[in-house]
Amino acid sequence: MRLLTRKLPWLIGTLLAVSFFTFMLVSLLPGDPAVMILGAGGVSPEAVAQLRLELGLDRPLVIRYFDWLGSALSGDLGRSPMTGQAVTDAILSRLPVTIQLGTMAIVIALTLAIPLAMVSAYFAGSRLDRGISGLGFALMSVPGFMMAIFLILVFAVGLGWFPATGWVPLSESPAGNLQSAILPAMSLAMIELALYMRLLRTDLIDTLQQDYITLARAKGLPNWLILTRHALRPSSFSLMTVVGLQLGGVISGAIIVEEIFALPGVGRLLYQSILQRDLLMVQGIVLFIATAYVVVNFLVDLCYSLLDPRVRYAE
């Protein structure tokens, strides 16, 4: 608990700075929102000025910031002047898609990465290890969209097993949902897989050289037990941290993947809002995403301190 109170001010401070930065950056974007809404070219300056007044765009920046922040804290991120939709509603309705996508990607990546890394580390230096590491290298060199295109080519266009675009919500049909989610999730998962595998392998190799592993061998324990219980556990903590930090990358990848597969997620909404200069929407989404990222990493950090005995019981 003491840990929590010590780190809480950092959390609040960072979140405040994030909200401020978000607001400023978006507000400073070129392109007058009023003009954007009314459509450029052939609009009277009076109409523009009128709309600006209505939107409250004439007030000083700082006041607008606090106004916005105040409503945001009560859950109201405003209403998009372009689509008329409440920002919060727009985000929440699309959130499940993105969350499912991200979670599936991370789970797939971890499920594959952990055994591969263990095999790699155990046979470090062998041809098997070099093969697996080579595979990891190759995966790291493929950006998300390229992987998506490749997967579409093979599994959608070629084999026809999965759809190339579109999303079936879970409530409608679990099977259909899975079908529409697999290719996007795999696209995201591959890069994460490469990263997790590499990191875990290095950490495991390091751990396997420790004295306590030799002692475990001296106890006559079988190798698989040593790998899973004695070696994996110490190494899993750094992996946990990286998964948290990588969320930013997963979200970025999700934006692209959702766009390619035409999934109704938060990422796609963000991208299109930026294109349309729907600044209020952009503000709201960015604030949401950044806040979520900071909070999640904070929680990961906390968990780490609680779970890793080395940190928890440090004298």
Partner 1 sequence: MIDAGSHGEVLLRVNGLTVRLHSGNGLVHAVEDVSFSLARGQTLGVVGESGSGKSVMARSLMGLLPKRALAGGSGEILFQTAGGAQRDLASLPEKQLRLLRGPALAMVFQDPMTALNPVLRLSVQLTEPLRLHLGLDRQQARSRAIELLASVGIPDAAGRIDQFPHQLSGGMRQRVVIAIALACSPSLLIADEPTTALDVTVQKQILDLLARLQRELHMAMILITHDLGVVASRADHIAVMYAGRVVEYAPANTLFTSMKHPYTEALFNSIPRINDPSHTRLQAIPGRPPQLIDPAPGCAFAPRCQYAQPRCREQTPPVVTVADAPDHQHACFFPVSTIPGGRPHGR
Partner 2 sequence: MRSKVADSSVVRSRAQGFSAAARQVFGRGFGPGFWIAAGWLLLVALCAVFADWLPVRDPIDPVIANRLNGPLTTNILGADGLGRDILARLVHGARVSVVIALTAVSIGMVIGGTLGILAGYFRGHFERGLMAVLDVILAFPWLVLLLALVAFIGQSLAAISVAIGFLWIPAYARVARANTLSVVQREYVLAARAMGASTLRILLREVLPNVILPVLAYGLVAMGLVIIVESALAFLGLSVEAPQPTWGGMISEGKRHLATAVHVALVPSITMFFTVLSLNYVGDRLRSRFDVRESNL
Nearer to partner 2, 114 or 282 (CB): 282
Question: How many residues at the interface with partner 1, by CB under 8 A?
Answer: 24
255 scored as a contact of partner 2 (CB under 8 A): yes
The answer to whether 250 and 192 are in contact (CB under 8 A) is yes
228 scored as a contact of partner 1 (CB under 8 A): no
Between CA 155 and CA 164 the distance in angstroms is 8
Among the residue ranges 11-19, 37-45, 55-63, 166-174, the one whose residues contact partner 2 (CB under 8 A): 11-19
Taking CB under 8 A as the criterion, the residue among 256, 263, 269, 280 binding partner 2 is: 256
Between CA 206 and CA 258 the distance in angstroms is 38
- Cβ-defined contacts of 269-278 (< 8 Å, 24+): 269/90, 269/91, 269/94, 273/80, 276/36, 276/82, 277/29, 277/31, 277/33, 277/36, 278/36, 278/80, 278/81, 278/82, 278/83
Least Å from the CB of residue 136 to partner 1: 21
Among the residue ranges 28-36, 165-173, 182-190, 233-241, the one whose residues contact partner 2 (CB under 8 A): 28-36
230 scored as a contact of partner 1 (CB under 8 A): yes
Q: How far apart are the first and last CA of the chain?
A: 16
H-helix segments, the chain: 2-27, 33-38, 45-55, 61-73, 87-122, 127-140, 144-151, 174-208, 211-218, 223-225, 232-261, 266-275, 279-307, 309-312
DSSP string, 112-162: HHHHHHHHHHHTTTSHHHHHHHHHHHHHHTS-HHHHHHHHIIIIIIIS--S
Least Å from the CB of residue 218 to partner 1: 5
* Contact letters for partner 2, residues 56-95 (x by CB under 8 A): ----------------------------------------
Among the residue ranges 75-83, 150-158, 184-192, 221-229, the one whose residues contact partner 1 (CB under 8 A): 221-229
Amino acid at 20: F
Taking CB under 8 A as the criterion, the residue among 82, 294, 300, 302 binding partner 2 is: 294
205 scored as a contact of partner 1 (CB under 8 A): no
130 scored as a contact of partner 1 (CB under 8 A): no
41 scored as a contact of partner 1 (CB under 8 A): no
Q: Which residues bind partner 2 (CB under 8 A)?
A: 13-14, 17-18, 21-22, 25-26, 28-31, 137-138, 140-146, 149-150, 152-153, 157, 247-249, 251-253, 255-256, 259-260, 270-271, 274, 282, 286, 289-290, 293-294
